Amino acid sequence: MSTWLHNQANRNCTIIAEVAQSHDGSLGMAHAFIDAVAKTGADAIKFQTHIAAAESTPGEPWRKKFSLQDASRYDYWRRMEFTESQWQGLKNHATEKGLLFLSSPFSLEAVDLLKKVGVAGWKIASGEINNLQMLEQIAATKQPIMLSTGMSDLPEIDRIVARVKGWGNPLALMQCATIYPCPPEAVGLNVIDIYKQRYKTAVGLSDHSATLYAGLAAATLGIQVLEVHVTLSHEMFGPDVIASVNTQELKQLVQGVRFIEKMLANPVNKQVLGEHAAPLRQIFMKSIVARQNLAAGHQLSGADLALKKPGGGLGAEDFSKLIGRRLRTAINKDQQILEKDVE
């Protein structure tokens, strides 16, 4: 792959809209997210594939008790489940809308299900980075792997990256802070360059700040992947809404990243005058003109000269050079004084 996950001209950064559980267990809402995200210009849509009995126990504690509908975290995961045919419908819908389809697995059973459905690559959540059994199963697909690192230190990341590189899968390492929402002091933009230098691999940001700012800043650092949580409305229910941008904000984010990519791809050479600047100099620069009518033979003083638009004649830098020189010919008020006009 010449670019990460896809090969689209002038797009260095794959932008992933992360729905997570914001569909709240509604298949219809999940499809609505696909339609909405497709209008933003994002490259991919990502869900999370939870199979409660395979990944959790009834005793799993709430990170934060947010649901009046579910008696336990386990019950919530069960409500987030879709069948294989339902996942296939979501994948087909995303493909029809021109979106790459992704979903993070949280169990071996979820990996098996997603292999049947078909995904463009594999996003590994921060809490699964040391799940070597699952990683080995995913690596066997030879598809790209994105690793979130929100709960890992560098020694653990060193070990996992070495394994993934050994398997030969394309790798993108994602800087991530597992805080919802993530404050600016925890985003860790500095880590992006650390990952680039340390691991010599594609690097991205998994953003939970609920703003455009972190993603735009990361884009200026040349990331290959940007994942951002998305909601249809900031007033929706769910644990991820507070860490999400809405679809209109996502559209602005996509436009901003593409703008930044064009800027980075077109460095300006200030050693030479740019093609846009040359014609504007004549409009906006000033030339030396006569302040009043001047006779031939008149010896010029500063009181005889003024600087006025347009440019194209002798400029302000030549002002002192004309002082004391005599006119070869008469010059009218506001007429440019050129080198040929003086002795």
Choosing from 265, 299, 328, the residue where a domain stops is 265
Residue 1, pLDDT above cutoff 70: no
Same domain, 243 and 309: no
Residues 129 and 100 in one domain: yes
Instruction: Read off the pLDDT of residues 255-284 as tens digits, 9 standing for 90 and up.
Output: 999 999 999 999 988 888 777 787 888 889
Mean pLDDT, to the nearest integer, of 82-88?
A: 98
Helical spans, DSSP H, in 143-246: 154-167, 189-199, 213-220
Q: Are residues 183 and 57 in the same domain?
A: yes
Look at residue 3 and tell me if it is in a domain: no
**48: which residues sit within 8 A by CB, 6+ positions away?**
19, 20, 21, 80, 103, 104, 106, 125
Q: Do 84 and 55 reside in the same domain of the chain?
A: yes
Q: Which of 243, 265, 287 is the last residue of a domain?
A: 265
pTM here is 0.87
Under 8 Å CB-to-CB from 304, ≥6 apart: which residues? 290, 291, 292, 294, 298
Looking at the structure, do residues 202 and 298 belong to the same domain, yes or no? no
Q: Are residues 219 and 90 in the same domain?
A: yes
Is residue 194 assigned to a domain? yes
Q: Is residue 257 part of a domain?
A: yes
User: Do 79 and 104 share a domain, yes or no?
Assistant: yes
Residue with tokens 């729905």: 19
Q: Which domain holds residue 283?
A: 277-341
Report the domain count for the chain: 2
Mean pLDDT of the chain: 94
Q: Is residue 138 part of a domain?
A: yes
Is 9 domain-assigned? no
Span between the terminal Cα atoms of the chain, in Å: 68
**How many other CB atoms sit within 10 Å of the CB of residue 297?**
11
pLDDT bracket for residue 9 (50, 70, 90): low
Residue 310 forms part of a structural domain: yes
Instruction: Note whether 130 and 66 are same-domain residues.
Output: yes
The CA distance from 45 to 169, in Å, is 21
Q: What is the pLDDT of residues 208-238, one digit of tens each?
A: 999 999 999 999 999 999 999 999 999 998 8
Domain-embedded: residue 5: no
Tell me: do 336 and 214 sit in the same domain.
no
In a domain, 84, yes or no: yes
Q: What pLDDT was estimated at residue 2? A: 46
CATH number assigned to the domain comprising residue 174: 3.20.20.70
Q: Do 66 and 126 have their domain in common?
A: yes
Shared domain check, 336 and 195: no
Under 8 Å between Cβ of 295 and 330 = yes
Region 287-308 average pLDDT? 97
The domain boundary residue, chosen from 203, 233, 265: 265
6: pLDDT confidence band, cut at 50, 70 and 90?
low
CA distance linking residue 159 with residue 154, whole number of Å: 9
Q: What CATH number has the domain bearing residue 312?
A: 3.90.1210.10
Could you tell me if 245 and 329 lie in one domain? no
